[in-house]
Amino acid sequence: MKNTDRLWSKIVLAPSIILLAIFVYGFIARTGYTSLTDWGNDPVQAMSLTPVIKFIGLQNYTDLFTGGLNVRFRQDMISTLFFTVFFIAGCLGLGLTLALMLDRNPRGEGLWRTIFLFPMSLSFIVTGTIWRWMLQPQGGLNQLLHLDPAKSEWLTSRGSILSFDWNKIPLITAAVVAVVLGVVAFQAMRAGQRTRTLVAAGCAALLLVWALFVGPNVKLLPAPELHGFNLAFIGIIIAAVWQMSGYTMALYLAGLRGIPEEIREAARVDGAGEWDTYRHVIFPLLAPITLSAMIVLGHISLKIFDLVFAMTGPDNAATDVPALLMYITSFRQNAFAVGAAIGTVLLLLVAVIIVPYLASQFKTEEAR
């Protein structure tokens, strides 16, 4: 009986496994391979019936990160980083505020919940179109608030803040990792784990030495190249937060409702004030929710395409993101290999967020 059950489960699962293997993993592998070739770098070969495609190793990646013509890609990497940070912070902040307000059982709670959750039912394309109308120079928001269209450039600003030199990227990375390792070493020392302390401290010291003496001499580019947070992204961040903060609100509200009243009472009995209850009891209980919200929002923001396309179009470098650049590079410039390389970089970025999360989920499930 048990054996036939097993057999059945395998037969039933087989088609989707085969389809996944081909259409997800097979295509990932194919894209990865394409990114190592020169397909489309020569316009003559791009669309040829029998293209001559050469294997060129990591050349496309080197060009993207250090080539003179790929300034836009590097700005996009920085933009996507800033966008992710502000988008997640905005969604978490607004979502938590809304959830805390609703948790006090205001009148018409159901209605408010629907209103706040409603934007999530729209697609990014719709959200983008609505907000483009609101934020364009002659658009709704400027007229509503009687702002001067020439000065309130929600989506068209060319300003940039928090700029830093791309050449310093290795240096900054090394310094950040060294600091993190230092913290790990400190914690291990306090916990009395000797080997761990020594390894972490050693690595941190090595990195610091590198950052101090070798790092400043590493030049990715011949000339300094400044990248920062483009102010034109503010409009897009507003729209994205409007769309997704309902989702974080729902998550937090579920979390808050899941906290038993006894715990709050116990805190009160112990003499904790309102704020202390939140700080020491409720927020720590919400931490896992924050983590999963960050994972979901993080991968949405790294892959974002449709919202930006709808709001500022594919040709606006000030609000460009890697996914848009991949589309333009592949389908307008016909540089398929470079497009594949950008896609692979995006996949790796998403993997950096998703894989540790999946691994930890997997571990807790096995532990059960």
- Interface positions with another protein (CB under 8 A): 41-49, 51, 68-69, 71-72, 135-138, 149-150, 153-156, 158, 232, 312-318, 327-329, 331-335
Nearer to another protein, 74 or 299 (CB): 74
Nearer to another protein, 132 or 299 (CB): 132
Nearer to another protein, 210 or 305 (CB): 305
Reduced to 3 states (helix: H, G, I; strand: E, B; else coil), residue 49 is coil
Nearer to another protein, 6 or 332 (CB): 332
Nearer to another protein, 92 or 341 (CB): 341
Cβ atoms of residues 179 and 211 within 8 Å: no
Q: How far is the CB of 309 from another protein (least distance, A)?
A: 10
Nearer to another protein, 96 or 311 (CB): 311
Q: How far is the CB of 139 from another protein (least distance, A)?
A: 8
Distance CA 338, CA 322 (A): 12
Q: How far is the CB of 116 from another protein (least distance, A)?
A: 28
CB-based contacts of 103: which residues, under 8 Å, 6+ apart? Answer: 253, 256, 257
Q: How far is the CB of 101 from another protein (least distance, A)?
A: 34
Start-to-end Cα distance in the chain: 27
Nearer to another protein, 96 or 318 (CB): 318
Reduced to 3 states (helix: H, G, I; strand: E, B; else coil), residue 270 is coil
Distance CA 236, CA 258 (A): 33
Q: How far is the CB of 49 from another protein (least distance, A)?
A: 6
- Buried/exposed code over 144-173 (b: 16+ C-beta within 10 A; e: otherwise): eeeeeeeeebbbbbeebeeeeebbbbbbee
CB-based contacts of 30: which residues, under 8 Å, 6+ apart? Answer: none
Nearer to another protein, 188 or 325 (CB): 325
Alpha-carbon distances of 163 from 94, 242, 258, 264, 302, rounded to whole Å: 27, 27, 43, 45, 20
Q: How far is the CB of 64 from another protein (least distance, A)?
A: 13
Q: How far is the CB of 123 from another protein (least distance, A)?
A: 17
Q: How far is the CB of 196 from another protein (least distance, A)?
A: 47
Q: How far is the CB of 315 from another protein (least distance, A)?
A: 4
DSSP state of 37: B
CB-based contacts of 262: which residues, under 8 Å, 6+ apart? Answer: none
Nearer to another protein, 95 or 128 (CB): 128
Strands (E) located in 65-124: none
SS3 track for 148-180: CCCCCCCCCCCCEEEEEEHHHHHHHHHHHHHHH
Distance CA 73, CA 321 (A): 8
